[in-house]
Structure 1
Amino acid sequence: MPIKTAIAGALGLMLAGCTGVPDNIEPVQGFDADRYLGTWYEIARYDHSFEEGLENVTAEYSLNDDGSIKVINRGYSTEEGEWQEAEGTAKFVEDEETAHLKVSFFGPFYASYVVFGLDRENYQYSYVTGYDRDYLWFLSRTPTVSDEAMDEFREAARANGFDLDGLIIVDQDRNE
């Protein structure tokens, strides 16, 4: 097998793995993207280099003309003393009623966005992971949540195999 074919195949498998779903995690079914659009506040997360040191993090979702979803993630860098913003695009991996999307902030490279928990009645809370359990977010329509809502998130995350030792509660106190 030519080396280019082997490299292309390995790269394809690697990238496909980044848009998968963690074992035993079920994306929300009956998902309504129109109800999910709008602003979400990051309540808790695992920290990663792309969000390290950010507080007051929000995600804004809106519909693009081509049917994909525009994603604007915004947060305040305490180290740099300024707001940072990243714009990306999300597309459904399966169908529009399955809350498994792939999101790209860097050209052709996509990563999974899997909603595995959702307040289906009001779309006020969302539990999100990536292609593996190294990614976890608790999103809310409001910048703060009740202790009960936080307890429900922790319970659901543990039940789905997440280790909460590295969970960060996001400060949402800064005004623009």
Structure 2
Amino acid sequence: MASSRLALLIVLVSSMEHCLSATCIVEDFSVKEEFDAKRYAGTWYALQKKDPEGLFLQDNISANYTILDDGSMTASSKGRVTLFGFWVVCADMAAQYSVPDPTTPGKMFMNYQGLASYLSSGGDNYWVIDTDYDNYAITYACRIVKDDGSCEDGYSLVFSRSPRGLPPTIQRVVRAKQEEICMSGQFQPVLQSGAC
């Protein structure tokens, strides 16, 4: 009985040490090493998302990434959005990506624009946290970094090559990456019904 309590205490202390040592400093987040945009190109379907503040695609989100002749990447994406609290429409977005530091190609900057007047335009970081290129990808962006280096307004998407989901082994990898970017438990499922 005493050894069981001791084992439980050791596990609890170890868990607390891990939580205390975990950092939520945005610049400390790791991205996919030696990211290969050509392998990343093609169609991805969002399965989970953590939204930023403001208007964001709500479901049936997909993105098709293309590599141009100059090596740069563009994307066309679509998804449903609710406007004015009641009007549900399929929206199209376009984006162009640049790599500010060629030594870290997984950390890109995305300029995006809605292809209709009611959609927003702007720019965000677009970090590919992890991908195996064939099954899953998890992306991250922080719009506002607090004074302590953590993120005040960030968002993330879990993508799959298939709209039907990911196998359990890959789901475990994705959950671990969600913890690493301090967003564990903040994701919502994304409906993929083919509406767009």
Residue 110 of structure 1 deviates from its aligned partner by 2.8
Work out the number of aligned pairs and report it: 152
Separation in structure 1 between the aligned mates of residue 96 and residue 137 of structure 2, nearest angstrom? 19
Which of 118, 135, 150 is 2:171 aligned to?
150
SS in 2 for 1:145: coil
SS in 2 for 1:75: strand
* 1:93 match: 100
* 2:20 match: none
* 1:35 match: 39
Separation in structure 1 between the aligned mates of residue 181 and residue 99 of structure 2, nearest angstrom? 24
Which of 70, 73, 77 is 2:74 aligned to?
70
Residue 147 of structure 1 deviates from its aligned partner by 3.4
Separation in structure 2 between the aligned mates of residue 140 and residue 102 of structure 1, nearest angstrom? 21
Which of 86, 106, 111 is 2:124 aligned to?
111
- Kindly tell me: are residues 96 and 60 of structure 1, through their superposed partners in 2, closer, same or farther at Cα, counting changes over 3 Å? farther
Residue 65 of structure 1 deviates from its aligned partner by 4.1
TM-score (norm: length of structure 1) = 0.74
Separation in structure 1 between the aligned mates of residue 67 and residue 27 of structure 2, nearest angstrom? 30
Aligned AA (1:69): M
Instruction: Decide whether the 8 Å contact of 2:67 with 2:74 is kept in 1.
Output: yes
1:98-138 alpha-carbon deviations (Å, 9 max, x no partner): 211100015x953111111121xx53211111136522211
SS in 2 for 1:155: helix
Percent of residue pairs bearing the same amino acid type: 20
SS in 1 for 2:30: coil
Larger Rg: 2
Structure 1: unaligned runs, 5 residues or longer: 1-20
* 1:16 match: none
Residue 75 of structure 1 deviates from its aligned partner by 0.2
Report whether the alignment pairs 1:125 with 2:136: yes
* 1:174 match: 194
1:119-163 alpha-carbon deviations (Å, 9 max, x no partner): 1xx5321111113652221111111222332232112211x1423
Instruction: Decide whether the 8 Å contact of 2:129 with 2:177 is kept in 1.
Output: no
Separation in structure 1 between the aligned mates of residue 103 and residue 42 of structure 2, nearest angstrom? 17
Instruction: Decide whether the 8 Å contact of 1:115 with 1:129 is kept in 2.
Output: yes
Instruction: Decide whether the 8 Å contact of 1:22 with 1:130 is kept in 2.
Output: no
TM-score (norm: length of structure 2) = 0.67
Report whether the alignment pairs 1:50 with 2:55: yes
